[in-house]
Amino acid sequence: MTYAKGLTGFALALAVAGVAGAAQAETSVKVALNADIRSTYPGVNRDANTDGVVHHIVEGLVAFRENSEVAPLLAEKVDLSADGLTYSFTLRKGVKFHNGAPLTADDVLFTWSKYMDKDTKWRCFSDFSKGISKVANVAKKDDMTVTFTLEQPSALFLGQMARIDCGGTGILHKDSFAADGSFDKPVGTGPYKLAEWKKGEYVELEKFAGYSPRTEKRDGYAGERVAHIDKVRFVVIPDGSAAKAALLSGSVEVLPDLDVSHLKEMKAAKGVVVDTATTMGLSAFLLQTKDPVFADVRMRKALAHAIDMAAIVDAVTLGTAKPNHSPVPVVSAYYGKPQGEPVKYDPALAKKLAAEAGYKGEPIKMVTNKRYAASFDSAVFAQAMAKDAGINIELEVIEWATQLDMYLKGNYQMMSFLYSARLDPSLSFDMFSGPKETQPRKVWDNPEAQKLIEKSMAISDKAERQKLFDTLEGMFRADLPMLVLYNGSDIAAYSDKLEGYKSWMAGQPRLWGVKVKG
């Protein structure tokens, strides 16, 4: 009897220990977001925060690596036909949606039909319905193979498919939509599934137990994406100081976009790890070439020599970014010697060029905003430096939405501006090149350059593309429609209780491959 009681007691103790162990094993991490997400529909009604969260839930056929190359994600492999027009995506076997359904070619076709419905308002609708990556036909070859046929060869097609703001063209199950066809919630294949979105407060994700990872190691949005944390909660904390206090008090574990002004303090803080990575975003001073002052290229060059851009970059980024005066990002595989050429700080030359251009000290209005502190600080430094060279810059500090409106209308003389990341040099040049008549937001109106950019979009050969980008670099520097300062930094601060968290060039948080210690 005593023996039996002892056994029962032991079994009970084991059960209790098991339950306690299971309870202990559940891990959760809170990540700060500076604003609420806009939707959970990939690439539809989105912003950077939305993209960051949604990419944990859905996956596309391809994704970006850390070096901005495109790699297969839901696709096992991608084959291109000899004529460069047809891409065959062979799907990975064993991939399941969050509802347990297996991924098939039908799901890809279904999702594509949703994205290419104009009423969906997909961010990238126009990229695939016209232009270089226009898709002529999508077909199911077999249950696990889908073909996309383009109207013309495009070096950008896979990159467009992987684009972060397109939601990575994330594949959704039919259950993501209500009976009337409207979007309900994302049922994807990602390492996390949506648990709850409490608008204005938080978005909670749960680990997807049925996730089927790739075998390659984590690489950007590609490779192995295994969730080790049971619950991830993205908490909306609009105020930077409050977010910092939340990290220090342990109320959140990750601050994915730390403001550079808090960097020193965070580096010194106990229990906090800081990690930085160079992004593909670009900080620049845009010069309106239609403006009488900047119509003369000598005046644009005068300004370039009047500003010690390296000193500005060092001051505003506290050494987290390197100067870059090329539209091609530093981390791009196409960043070579012509792109790395510095711009000489020479106030005497600046004065000479300005005098030759007929500049007589008339005020130049530079538009900036305080939403992006580094952009504002750059403008203040540039104003002071230009003054020493006799160039009279006046700052006009406005709110971001107003500045964006002025940018889109080309309604400015000079502007301190941040371009979001473009993950291919063709797109980097294209973001600011084009006819001002029809696209007033473009700063570089050079038809010859535009032809070369379009050519670079159609060629896949890397060496040939490099030549084109080098030629474009020379033309850009000769025309100098904007002064490029640097590519931004993704600065993350996180609790030392986590391991595996890394910043990367896309500047988005990644909670897969991250573990809670102990």
**How many Å separate Cα 244 from the centre of its chain?**
23
Give me the 450-479 binding string for another protein, x by CB under 8 A, dash otherwise: ------------------------------
Instruction: Determine which residue in the list 31, 61, 237, 312 makes contact with another protein, applying CB under 8 A.
Output: 237
Q: Which is nearer to another protein, 8 or 241 (CB)?
A: 241
Between residues 26 and 184, which has the closer beta carbon with respect to another protein? 184
What is the helix (H) or strand (E) element at residue 464, kind and residue range? helix 462-479
Asked whether position 404 contacts another protein by CB under 8 A, the answer is yes
CA 9 to chain CA centroid, nearest Å: 57
How many residues would you count in the chain? 518
> What does the alpha-carbon distance between residue 20 and residue 18 come to, in Å, rounded to a whole number?
5
Q: Which is nearer to another protein, 74 or 162 (CB)?
A: 162
Q: Using the minimum distance from each CB to another protein, give the nearer residue, 243 or 472.
A: 243
11 contacts another protein (rule: CB under 8 A):
no
Piece of 73-81, 108-116, 317-325, 399-407 that binds another protein (CB under 8 A):
399-407
376: Cα within 13 Å, side-chain hemisphere: 13
Q: Longest Cα pair distance anywhere in the chain, in angstroms?
A: 107
Contact between 28 and another protein (CB under 8 A)?
no
CA distance from start to end of the chain: 40
> 84 and 151 in contact (C-beta within 8 Å)?
no
CB 299, min distance to another protein, A: 25
Going residue by residue from 300 to 339, which x/- string records binding to another protein, judged by CB under 8 A? ----------------------------------------
Nearest to 48 by CA among 281, 316, 382: 281
236 binds another protein (CB under 8 A): yes
Residue number with CB closer to another protein (236 or 350): 236
**135-143, 197-205, 290-298, 476-484 -> range binding another protein (CB under 8 A):** 197-205
Q: Nearest to residue 344, comparing CAs of 317, 309, 315, 319?
A: 309
Q: Is 408 in the site for another protein (CB under 8 A)?
A: yes
Q: Which is nearer to another protein, 350 or 427 (CB)?
A: 427
Residue 251, interface with another protein (CB under 8 A)? yes
Cα 197 to chain centroid distance, Å, stands at 22
CA dist 94 and 104 (Å) reads: 10
293: nearest Cα among 229, 337, 391, 359: 359
Write the burial class of residue 424 (CB in 10 Å: 0-12 exposed, 13-18 middle, 19+ buried). Answer: buried
In this structure, the number of other CB atoms found within 10 A of the CB of residue 13 comes to: 10
Total residues at interface with another protein (CB under 8 A): 51
* 396 interacts with another protein by CB under 8 A: no
Should residue 135 be labelled a site residue for another protein when binding is judged by CB under 8 A? no
Q: Going along 34-85, which residue ranges are E strands?
A: 62-64, 70-72, 75-80
Distance between CA atoms of residues 55 and 57, nearest Å: 5
- 97 versus 417: smaller Cβ distance to another protein: 417
Query: Nearest distance from residue 243's CB to another protein, in Å?
Result: 8
Helix (H) or strand (E) holding 247: helix 240-249
Phi, psi of 433 (to 5 degrees): -110, 140
422 binds another protein (CB under 8 A): yes
Binding segment (CB under 8 A) for another protein, from list 288-296, 347-355, 381-389, 415-423: 415-423
Of 241 and 392, CB closest to another protein: 241
Least distance from C-beta 200 to another protein, angstroms?
4
Residues 481 and 443: beta-carbon distance below 8 Å: yes
Residues 6 or more apart whose Cβ sits within 8 Å of residue 41: 54, 120, 167, 183, 186
- Does residue 405 bind another protein (CB under 8 A)? yes
Residue with tokens 């291919």: 424
The answer to the question of residue 215 lying near another protein (CB under 8 A) is no
| Binding mask of the shown chain, residues 45 to 74, with x at each position contacting another protein by CB under 8 A | xxx---------------------------
- Tell me how far apart the alpha carbons of residues 340 and 477 are, in angstroms, rounded to a whole number: 12
Instruction: Please pick, from the candidates 79, 196, 201, 496, the single residue that binds another protein as defined by CB under 8 A.
Output: 201
Q: Which of 181, 238, 292, 363 binds another protein (CB under 8 A)?
A: 238
Site string for another protein, 92-131 (x = CB under 8 A): --------------------------xx-x-x-xx-----
Residue from 399, 448, 464, 496 in contact with another protein (CB under 8 A): 399
User: Binding to another protein by residue 431, rule CB under 8 A?
Assistant: yes
Tell me the C-alpha distance between 224 and 227, whole Å: 9
- Residue 490 in contact with another protein, rule: CB under 8 A: no
Q: Which of 246, 260, 414, 480 binds another protein (CB under 8 A)?
A: 246
CB atoms < 10 A from the CB of 261, how many? 15
Q: Rounded CA gap, 511 and 499, in Å?
A: 10
Q: Does 241 help bind another protein (rule: CB under 8 A)? A: yes
**What residues make contact with another protein under the rule CB under 8 A?**
35-39, 45-47, 118-119, 121, 123, 125-126, 165, 198-201, 235-239, 241-243, 245-246, 248-249, 251-252, 399-402, 404-408, 417-420, 422, 431, 438-439, 441
